[in-house]
Structure 1
Amino acid sequence: MEILIHYFETIPSSHRSIILVGGITFFWLLEGAVPLFSFKYNKWKHAWPNLFFTATTVIINFVLAFLLLKTADWVQANDFGLINWLPEMPLWLYVLLGVLFLDFFGAYLAHLVEHKVKPLWMVHLVHHSDHKVDTTTANRHHPIESVIRFIFTLIGVFLVGTPIAIVMLYQSMSLVFTQLTHANIKMPKKLDKVLSYVIVSPDMHKVHHHNVLPYTDSNYGNIFSIWDRLLGTYMELDREKIVYGVDTFPDEKKNSDLLELLKQPFQGYRKPTNLKEIK
């Protein structure tokens, strides 16, 4: 565990790039071998706006990274934060709790707030308006959302009290998990179900991308499924019934156009038209 912590404490930017590019490449190829849905689409054309938003996310996080470093150094130097106030524990448990609580603030809570606050929902809509969810959808976030997510992560680092090594470990895990859960791969249902008791499995997250409520407002987690299960936001839906997109923004052509997506947060909120569960 000490070796792992030391590695992430000083992880080079090039290694983080390998995790990003390697993950997209791996799941891209896996989608071709065991697809969940047989999309009839030009995969490269579909990927273009998603990869653009991936690049903007990387740039924003790189520019603001010094804030994470300064905050992580401060909480460590001042023994501040939730995991530092707990009784002494083994290193593996300290790391696990750090990642677990960062996952709550940086992913679950941020995601929940984006769905409940109307202006933030319009920003987050860019992510949900993809009609062909695959691994490139993972980082399809409007630049404004990238800033919002960063702020929640920064707050998490401060409140949880995580040193930079745990922050880098969390971000690396978050990157891989979001690529996995969005990938258009067909995992055996029983395996997916078992995994969903601990982590966010592909089928579990794809329920969140169903185009109507209440499913859209469920399964907010990114790495661990515990937060959805504890806080009552966990839902299930047979994978064959999932329809991607958002019912109030059904124009797939506009939702595939980069300029339209950049303008999407400013188009005004529309009340959902279908609140009924699928039987």
Structure 2
Amino acid sequence: METLVNYFETIPSSHRALILAGGITFFWLIEGALPLFNFKYNKWKHALPNLFFTGTTILINFLLAFLLLKTSDWVVANNFGIINWLPEMPLWLYVLLGVLFLDFFGAYLAHYTEHKVKPLWMVHLVHHSDHKVDTTTANRHHPLESIIRFVFTLLGVFLVGAPIAIIMLYQSMSVVLTQFNHANIKLPRKLDKALSYIICSPDMHKVHHHNLLPYTDSNYGNIFSIWDRLLGTYMELDREKIVYGVDTFPDEEKNSSLKELLKQPFQGYRKPTNLEELS
């Protein structure tokens, strides 16, 4: 565990880039071999706007990274934050709790808030308006959302009291897990279900991308599934019944246009239709 912590404490930028690019490449290839849905699409054309948003996310996080470092240095120097206030514990547990709580503040809470606050939902809509969810959808976030997510992560670092090694480990795990659970892959149902008790599995997260409520407002987790299960936002839906997108923004051509996606947060507020309203 000490070796792992030491590695992530000084992880080179090139290694972080390799984790991102390697994850996309790996799951891209797996999608071709074990697809959940046999999309009839030009995979590269579909990927272009998503990869553009991946680039803007990287840029924004790079420009703001010094804030994470300064905050982390401060909480460590002042013994501040949840994991530093707990009784002394083994290093593995300290790291696990650090990643677990960062996942809550930086992913679950951020995601939940984006669905509940109208202006934030319109920003987050860019992510949900993908009609062909695959591993490139993982980082399909409007630049404004990248900033919003960063603020929540920064809040998490402050409240959790995370040292830089735990932050880097969390971010690396977040990148890979989000690529995994967005990937258009078909795992055996029993395996996917077993994974969903610990992490956010592909079938579990795909429910969140269904185009109707209440499924759209469920399964907010990124790395761990514990927060959805504990806080009552976990839902299941047969993967064969999932329809991607948002029914109130049904134009797939516009939802595939980079120009239109950049403008999407500034359109009128429209939430997905609730299934109860259709019955």
Class of the TM-score when normalised by the shorter of the 2 chains: over 0.9
**Which residue number in structure 1 is paired with residue 100 of structure 2?**
100
In structure 2, give the amino acid aligned to 1:148.
I
1:181 aligned onto 2:172:
no
Q: What RMSD, in angstroms, separates the aligned Cα atoms of the two structures?
A: 1.1
Distance 1:169 1:12 in 2: 12
Runs of 4+ residues deviating >2 angstroms? 271-279
Structure 1 residues 17 and 79: CA distance shift in structure 2, 3 A: same
Count of residues paired in the alignment: 279
Q: Secondary structure at the match of 2:96?
A: helix
Q: Secondary structure at the match of 1:95?
A: helix
C-alpha contact (below 8 Å) 2:124/2:145 kept by paired residues: yes
**Which residue number in structure 1 is paired with residue 122 of structure 2?**
122
**Which residue number in structure 1 is paired with residue 266 of structure 2?**
266
In structure 1, give the amino acid aligned to 2:84.
N
1:57-107 per-residue CA deviation (whole Å, 9 max, x = no partner) reads: 000000000000000111001100000000000000000000000000000
Distance 2:278 2:272 in 1: 15
Distance 1:221 1:278 in 2: 27
C-alpha contact (below 8 Å) 1:8/1:165 kept by paired residues: yes
**Which residue number in structure 1 is paired with residue 112 of structure 2?**
112
Shift in Å, 1:276: 2.6
**TM-score of the pair, normalised by structure 2:** 0.98
1:237-276 equivalences under 5 Å are 237-276=237-276
Structure 1 residues 234 and 278: CA distance shift in structure 2, 3 A: farther
1:159-180 per-residue CA deviation (whole Å, 9 max, x = no partner) reads: 0000000000000000000000
C-alpha contact (below 8 Å) 2:211/2:272 kept by paired residues: no
Shift in Å, 1:268: 1.4
Distance 2:140 2:271 in 1: 23
**Which residue number in structure 2 is paired with residue 81 of structure 1?**
81
**Which residue number in structure 1 is paired with residue 65 of structure 2?**
65
1:99-248 equivalences under 5 Å are 99-248=99-248
Q: Secondary structure at the match of 2:131?
A: coil
1:2-81 equivalences under 5 Å are 2-81=2-81
Q: Secondary structure at the match of 1:276?
A: helix
Distance 1:143 1:185 in 2: 27
Distance 1:75 1:273 in 2: 43
Structure 1 residues 23 and 272: CA distance shift in structure 2, 3 A: closer
Q: Secondary structure at the match of 1:36?
A: coil
Distance 1:273 1:34 in 2: 31
C-alpha contact (below 8 Å) 1:218/1:235 kept by paired residues: yes
C-alpha contact (below 8 Å) 1:49/1:256 kept by paired residues: yes
Shift in Å, 1:270: 1.8
